[in-house]
C-alpha cells in the first residue's frame, strides 16, 4: 500500500511538472511570437520613418501644407468679413504640430514595433517632441491675425494634458493653455470636440495627418467607406482641410484590419499581401 501511495505521489509530481513545463513553454512561445511580431512591425515601419526622418521631400511637403494653410486662411478671412462668431482653426498635435519621429525611429531601430501605452506615456512625459517644419511660423502668423487656435489631440488627457501644454509652450507655440489644448478622456472620436468648438467659433481650417483629424466622421469606417468619404469631400482638401503626410502610423492601419497591430506575423503578412495586390 505504501508503495502504491509513493507511486501515485510520484505520478502527481510528474504530471504537475509536465503542466508547469507546458505553461512555461507556452509563455516562452508567446514571448517569442510577440518579439517576432514586434520585429516585423519595426521592419515595416523602417522605410516610412526613414523617409520622415531624412528626406527633403517630407520637409517640403510639411512646408507646402503650412504655406497652403496660410493662403487658405487669408482667403477665408477676406471672404467672411462679417463675424457671427470669432474665427478659429483646429489642428492635431502629433506629426502635425509636434514631431515624434526621432523617438519612434530609435524604438524601431531596436526591433520594437509596438508603440504601446507605457512607451508613449514615457515619451510624452519627456516633453521633448520637436516642432514640425513650418508649424511654428504658421501658428504665430495665425495668432497675429487674431484667429484662435485649438489643438485637438488624442493624447490621453488625465496623464498628458500638463506635459503637452508645457511642451508646446517650450517650443513657443501660441494658445498653449487648458482652454485651447483639448485631449481625449473617454472618447477618441474627435467629432464631439469639433462640435463643441464650432458652437462658439467659426472654424476656417482643419489641419492633421489622419482622416480622423477632420470633421468627416470616419471613425470605425472600413477602407472603402473612408475612401468614399474622402472622395465626396475632395474640394475641401487644399482649401479648408490641410493634410500632412504620415506613412508610419494612423487609423489607416486599423482600417485594413481592426486587430492589425496584434496579429501574428503570418496573418499580418496575409493582410499586407491582400492590399498590396488588390
What would the pLDDT profile of 10-28 be if each residue is shown by its tens digit? 554 545 555 444 554 445 4
Provide the residue range defining the domain that includes 121: 38-276
- Average pLDDT over the chain, rounded to whole? 88
Do 52 and 246 meet the contact criterion of CB atoms below 8 Å apart? yes
Lowest mean pLDDT among 173-182, 187-196, 253-262: 253-262
pLDDT single digits (tens) 46-55: 899 999 999 9
* DSSP characters over 12-61: HHHHHHHHHHHHHHHHHHHHHHHHHHHHHHHHHHHHHHHHHHH-HHHHHH
Q: Is 126 inside any structural domain?
A: yes
- H or E segment to which residue 142 belongs: helix 135-144
CATH code for the domain of 113: 3.40.50.1000
Whether the pLDDT of residue 198 is over 70: the answer is: yes
Quickly state the pLDDT bin for 120 (edges 50, 70, 90): confident
Q: Is 18 inside any structural domain?
A: no
Q: Is 158 inside any structural domain?
A: yes
Q: Which residue has the higher pLDDT, 38 or 87?
A: 87
Q: Is 14 inside any structural domain?
A: no
Cα within 13 Å of Cα(121), Cβ side: 7
pLDDT at 55: 98
Spatial distance between the Cα atoms of 80 and 75, rounded to a whole number of angstroms: 9
Q: Is 7 inside any structural domain?
A: no
Q: Is 238 inside any structural domain?
A: yes
Residue 150 pairs with which residues in a beta bridge?
A: 90
Burial state string for 31-59 with b = 16 or more CB within 10 A and e = fewer than 16: eeeeeebbbbbbebbeebbeebeeeeebe
pLDDT at 24: 44
pLDDT single digits (tens) 63-116: 999 999 999 999 999 998 767 899 999 999 999 999 999 988 888 888 777 666
Whether the pLDDT of residue 278 is over 60: the answer is: yes
Strand pairing category for 241-243 and 202-208: parallel
Mean pLDDT score, 166-176: 98
pLDDT at 71: 99
Lowest mean pLDDT among 21-35, 85-99, 124-138, 176-190: 21-35
- Determine how many CB atoms are found less than 10 A away from the CB of residue 221: 17
- Burial level of 194, CB count in 10 A (0-12/13-18/19+)? buried
Could you list the beta-strand ranges (E) of 66-161.
87-91, 98-99, 130-131, 148-156
Spatial distance between the Cα atoms of 278 and 85, rounded to a whole number of angstroms: 46
The pTM assigned to this predicted structure is 0.85
The total number of structural domains in the chain stands at 1
End-to-end CA distance of the chain: 71
Amino acid at each position: 500500500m505504501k508503495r502504491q501511495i509513493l507511486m501515485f505521489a510520484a505520478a502527481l509530481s510528474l504530471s504537475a511538472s509536465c503542466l508547469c513545463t507546458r505553461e512555461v513553454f507556452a509563455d516562452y512561445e508567446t514571448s517569442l511570437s510577440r518579439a517576432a511580431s514586434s520585429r516585423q512591425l519595426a521592419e515595416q515601419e523602417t522605410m516610412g520613418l526613414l523617409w520622415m526622418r531624412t528626406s527633403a521631400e517630407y520637409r517640403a511637403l510639411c512646408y507646402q501644407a503650412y504655406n497652403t494653410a496660410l493662403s487658405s486662411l487669408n482667403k477665408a478671412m477676406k471672404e467672411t468679413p462679417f463675424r457671427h462668431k470669432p474665427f478659429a482653426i483646429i489642428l492635431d498635435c502629433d506629426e502635425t504640430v509636434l514631431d515624434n519621429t526621432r523617438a519612434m525611429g530609435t524604438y524601431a531601430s531596436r526591433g520594437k514595433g509596438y508603440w504601446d501605452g507605457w512607451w508613449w506615456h514615457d515619451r510624452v512625459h519627456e516633453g521633448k517632441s520637436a516642432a514640425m517644419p513650418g508649424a511654428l511660423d504658421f501658428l504665430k502668423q495665425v495668432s497675429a491675425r487674431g484667429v484662435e487656435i485649438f489643438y485637438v489631440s488624442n493624447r490621453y488627457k488625465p496623464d498628458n494634458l500638463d506635459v503637452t501644454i508645457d511642451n508646446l509652450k517650450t517650443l513657443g507655440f501660441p494658445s498653449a493653455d487648458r482652454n485651447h489644448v483639448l485631449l481625449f478622456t473617454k472618447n477618441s472620436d474627435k467629432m464631439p470636440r469639433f462640435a463643441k468648438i464650432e458652437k462658439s467659433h467659426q472654424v476656417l481650417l482643419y489641419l492633421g495627418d489622419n482622416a480622423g483629424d477632420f470633421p468627416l466622421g470616419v471613425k470605425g469606417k472600413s477602407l472603402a467607406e473612408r475612401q468614399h468619404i474622402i472622395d465626396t469631400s475632395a474640394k475641401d482638401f487644399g482649401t479648408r482641410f490641410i493634410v500632412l503626410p504620415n506613412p508610419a502610423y494612423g487609423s489607416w492601419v486599423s482600417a485594413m484590419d481592426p486587430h492589425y497591430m496584434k496579429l501574428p506575423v503570418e496573418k499580418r503578412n496575409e493582410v499586407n499581401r491582400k492590399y498590396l495586390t488588390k
